[in-house]
Structure 1
Amino acid sequence: MASSSHRHRSQPDREFQWRPVRGPLFAVAAVATVALIVTLVVAFRPGGSSDTGSDRAVAASSSSSKAGPSGTATDSASPTPSKPSSAAPKPTASSPARASASATPSAASPARRAASGTAGTSTTTAPAAGRIRPGTTYDGVATSYDVGNGDGACLFGPTDDVMTAAMNTADYETAKACGAYISVHAGGKSITVRITNECPAPCAVGQLDLSRQAFAKLAPLSAGRIPITWSLQSPATSDTISIRYKTGSTQYWCGIQAIGHRNPVARLEVRTSGGWLALTRTAYNYFLSEQGTGCGSEIRLTDIYGDQLTVPALAVRPDVAQQTGLQFARH
């Protein structure tokens, strides 16, 4: 069998010749003549135009779009609106979350709160609670120690009050717990003690080191260590607050302490030419003005509930407790 490269064309291919076909050609010419006549009649009739077809196409295209409310073209070919996004809207600066607003005291809160005594003024601001918060119950353990003359890290001075306690360092919070009244519960019994001291390590968070007299009201001293719960109190009291300047205080340097307060003091400020200045608190419960700014001027006290008391200017008299006649409100 010969390969494809040696194949020969068939005999009909060699003898093929083109011959004109007259019948079909005549028919085509006749059709073209009729079309030309029709076109000329349409073109020259009144109002006729050869662009009529294209004008209709443009009109049809224009009618497929219409102006929207703002003049922007909208596609009438797809009238079905798109589906709304399922994503939840995020809060913006103009619409803050309500939860945080309800948790924060508003400016409409009472601006003043009654205080016992006549000197100075009392106002209310936002709460200033630290680790020890009002209305909160804490778990811990109680131990006991000999309080001696009743003085301690808070430097309130010697006292005959034996219902006192030392607070663990974490909850002592740089003397912020000083003067707090704490209700302690254990085994169905309860007592109230005042924080006058700090209990350093190994005292753990939540631990109270009670005076022996206070511990004995909850359990025998031989128990050594007992589980307790405790919470902050705002007790009734007939005492009023006193202000004491630290030893060595002058108009050029001073340390200021508040004593006899019903609720823990969160902040102490002094009046200056530029306004109120908050002083730095020390672990030994004095607020220091190292440059003497505000020493001997008005003093403003804020407790952990946000109540404020303004104490008129007092002379800088070191180691003297000066009565103010003021007291924080009971809660």
Structure 2
Amino acid sequence: MKTSKGEAVYYDANARGSCSLTFGHDAAVLSAPNAVYNQIQACGQCLEITGSEGTQVVMVADRCNDCPPDRLVINKPAFVKIAGTKAGKAEVTWKPVPCAVQGNLELRFKKTSSIHWTSIQVRNHRVPVKSVAFKKGDAWVEMTRSDDNYFTAAKGVGSQSVTLRITGADGQTVEETVAKWKDGETYKGTAQFK
């Protein structure tokens, strides 16, 4: 994978971010500039970042709309491992890598989802999620990705039981079925990207 070069600064991550992923204040997460965010279908993508003090794998959890295209904004605990404690800004290199997640994919049904309007977020994935489709009869219906990292069926999936086809940025596909879903709940899947 291509290695990029730029600068990093740190921030105190607020446990949510625009990707709607939850994480602790000491998590290895970052806010990516639009140029990086859009290029790698960023939410949940991991980047291996190297600086003067070491290398750390950090997950994209937010978008930095005001950042220059070569600036990563890294949560402070991860930044310290990459660039030390004295620097407020550091030269770094980075490249996309698979995330070292444990277990299978997870499917989060957005609060207020119903059979008439359904919004699902794929979590705990090794590679970025490119698309999600649901099965309707013999056909697959593509869902629309929203800015908050959920995939939405504006007319709903039509049933409390749904089969999803999840496609990774590298072309891998995984099918998952949730027999009886409920809004606001997260379900553990049966598979993971390789």
- Aligned counterpart, 1:269: 133
- Aligned counterpart, 1:85: none
- Aligned counterpart, 2:191: 326
Match of 2:7 among 132, 141, 146: 141
- Aligned counterpart, 2:111: 247
TM-score scaled by structure 1? 0.55
Change (3 A) 1:248 1:184: same
- Deviation per CA, 1:142-180: give whole Å up to 9, x if none: 0110113x2211111243652111111222229920111
Deviation at 1:188, TM superposition (A): 5.8
- Deviation per CA, 1:253-279: give whole Å up to 9, x if none: 011110011111011111113511111
AA in 2 matched with 1:189: G
Q: How many residues align?
A: 193
Deviation at 1:218, TM superposition (A): 2.1
Q: Specify every segment of 5 or more residues in structure 2 that has no aligned partner in the other structure, as ranges.
A: none
Change (3 A) 1:144 1:160: closer
- Aligned counterpart, 1:283: 147
- Aligned counterpart, 1:192: 57
Query: Is the contact made by 2:53 and 2:84 (CA closer than 8 Å) also made in structure 1?
Result: no
- Aligned counterpart, 1:52: none
Match of 1:229 among 93, 101, 107: 93
- Aligned counterpart, 2:182: 317
Deviation at 1:301, TM superposition (A): 0.5
Q: Specify every segment of 5 or more residues in structure 1 that has no aligned partner in the other structure, as ranges.
A: 1-134
Change (3 A) 1:322 1:258: same
- Aligned counterpart, 1:238: 102
Change (3 A) 1:328 1:294: farther
- Aligned counterpart, 2:70: 206
Query: Is the contact made by 2:45 and 2:99 (CA closer than 8 Å) also made in structure 1?
Result: no
- Deviation per CA, 1:271-313: give whole Å up to 9, x if none: 1135111111011000111111456421010111111000014
Query: Is the contact made by 2:40 and 2:128 (CA closer than 8 Å) also made in structure 1?
Result: no
Deviation at 1:239, TM superposition (A): 2.4
Partners of 1:283 and 1:235 in 2: CA distance? 21
What root-mean-square deviation, in Å, do the aligned CA atoms of Structure 1 and Structure 2 show?
Answer: 2.0
Partners of 2:48 and 2:39 in 1: CA distance? 21
AA in 2 matched with 1:265: V
Task: Report which structure shows greater RCO (CA 8 Å, sep ≥6).
Answer: 2
- SS of residue paired to 1:298: strand
Partners of 2:11 and 2:154 in 1: CA distance? 35
**Larger strand fraction of residues:** 2
Partners of 1:170 and 1:185 in 2: CA distance? 19
**Segments of 4+ in structure 1 off by > 6 A?**
none
- Percent identity between matched residues is 25
- SS of residue paired to 2:36: helix
**Larger helix fraction of residues:** 1
- SS of residue paired to 2:8: strand
2:42 paired with 1:177: yes
Partners of 1:175 and 1:326 in 2: CA distance? 22
Change (3 A) 1:320 1:160: farther
TM-score scaled by structure 2? 0.91
